[in-house]
A and B are shown apart, each in its own frame.
Chain A
Amino acid sequence: MADAATAVAATEMTVEMVKASQLGMKALGAGIAVGLTGIGTGLAEMAIGSAAVGATAENKDVFGLVLLLTVIPETIVIFGLVVGLLLLF
């Protein structure tokens, strides 16, 4: 009897633990999604950014345009963010 009771208690604990660990995994997944896509965006923006600064240094009129070109790879990290949000909520 006692053994059975402990066993039941143990399974109940396990279900909670599984739930908790699922949540943790989700959070981890969301973090990885945002983190890796962030790195990707950063790498892509490096080249564009340096070209953008170069172009602006010579001709201030293009500032608006190059600022915009610089944020184009931001799509990558935003997809990551969206995946992260969908995972969490």
Chain B
Amino acid sequence: MAEVRAGPAPYIYVCTRMRVRKAKLLPREEYVRMLNMGLSEITRSIEETQYKKEIDELAPSFHGIDLIELALSWNLAKEYQSIQKITPGSLKDLTRAYLRKWDIQNVLTILRGKLHGEKPGKIREVLIPAGELDKQILDKLIEEQTPERIIEGLKGKGVYPLLSRSFEAGVKEDFLPRVENALYKQFYADLISMAQSGIKGGRQFMDYITLDIDITNIRNMFRFRADPSAGEMSDAVVPGGTISPQLIQRIMAIKDRNEFIDALIPSVKVRDLRELLETLREEKSVREIEIDLIKVQLSEMESMSKMNPFSIHPILAYLEMKKYEIFNLRALARGKESNLPPERIRGYLVM
């Protein structure tokens, strides 16, 4: 209640913090330098930045790739948890809703791990407790024996209604693969209904969701076009973006790349995205397209957060950028671990 009456001050406070944190993210030149480094050098060089605490703490017990991977997960989790703590009022609800993706992913990882009979320790290593479910809760879930008990254990959490519904619907046979798409669709549907529920700052949140859905759909379209055996586009289409699912169905049938892009562009609102689509007329690998899309998404979120400096946007922009910093560092570390040449690794980085 206090937050409602406190006026704009808490918003300004949190958004300024996000801005400062964003300024502390690694700049492009740093990645370029890391490409020429060895694994331990990379670990040490990030130890001299925001990752000091995690790496110092883990260094006596872990080495090499394990050290950096674990430190990155811990850092991301800590960062996201701390942001959930400091965001005020409705921003907290929106941030939580956005981070629910991590909860879904973590629960799915646990379920999948259990299905394949993995040891609890093994599962714990790959979890990133970045959402509402923190380390303690996830630890408890890992100890549970059956999927039903795991879902039960989520009672009272934001992710519970979503998971229990999907669970009822698709569980018994062949739970995971089929349900996963449905789960993410439902996740977006929930976000949309939350944004339109009249919550403060919902309009700006909706702008973000629309962008995210569009990018997701475009990415999936290119992915399925490149590899038709990967699955059915109709399963993966997320409704709610500016590109309607009907249109997607229709244009996916167009075989010619140029015609496909011609048909797609008119329904895309974001200028940078249209420009990117123009460049996609020539052949590019799916990975390149994905990285390009991420770049457009990040720059678009950046300009959104400049338009609404004290809204959900600066928070989301930082969360996303932080995510890709971790993503980049992980790609670098794994690339170095498997002795890929710098040029190959560069192709995996979002800079």
Which residues of A approach B to under 8 Å, CB–CB? 46-47, 49-55, 57-59
Contacts and interface: CB of A to CB of B under 8 A. Distances in A.
A47 B20 contact: no
Contact of A54 (B8, B13, B24): B13
Interface string B1-40: 0000001111011111101110010000000000000000
User: Which 5 A-B residue pairs are closest in the complex by CB-CB distance?
Assistant: A54-B16, A58-B20, A50-B9, A50-B13, A54-B13
A54 B10 CA distance: 9
Nearest to B86: A57
Contacts of A51: 12-13, 16
Nearest to A54: B16
B23 to A, nearest CB: 8
B20 A54 contact: yes
Contacts of A55: 16-17, 19-20
A49 B8 CA distance: 11
Interface string B202-233: 00000000000000000000000000000000
A55 B17 CA distance: 5
A51 B17 CA distance: 8
B15 A54 contact: yes
B17 A58 contact: yes
Contacts of B8: 46-47, 50
B20 A46 contact: no
Interface of B: 7-10, 12-17, 19-21, 24
A50 B16 CA distance: 8
Contacts of B10: 50
A54 B9 CA distance: 10
The listed residue with most A CB atoms (<10 A of its CB), out of B10, B16, B21, B24, is B16
B305 to A, nearest CB: 15
Nearest to B14: A54
A59 B9 contact: no
24 contacts: A46-B7, A46-B9, A47-B8, A49-B9, A50-B9, A50-B10, A50-B12, A50-B13, A50-B16, A51-B13, A51-B16, A52-B16, A53-B13, A54-B12, A54-B13, A54-B15, A54-B17, A54-B20, A55-B19, A57-B17, A58-B17, A58-B20, A58-B21, A58-B24
A55 B24 CA distance: 12
A47 B17 contact: no
A44 B15 CA distance: 18
Contacts of A53: 13
A54 B88 CA distance: 13
A2 B83 CA distance: 85
A58 B13 CA distance: 11
A55 B19 CA distance: 8
Nearest to B17: A54
A9 to B, nearest CB: 58
Nearest to B9: A50
A57 B13 CA distance: 10
B24 A47 contact: no
Contacts of B20: 54-55, 58-59
Contacts of A46: 7-9
Contacts of A47: 8-9, 12
Contacts of A58: 17, 20-21, 24
A88 B298 CA distance: 59
A21 to B, nearest CB: 40
A57 B15 CA distance: 12
Contacts of B21: 58
A66 to B, nearest CB: 9
A42 to B, nearest CB: 12
Contacts of A54: 12-17, 20
A81 to B, nearest CB: 25
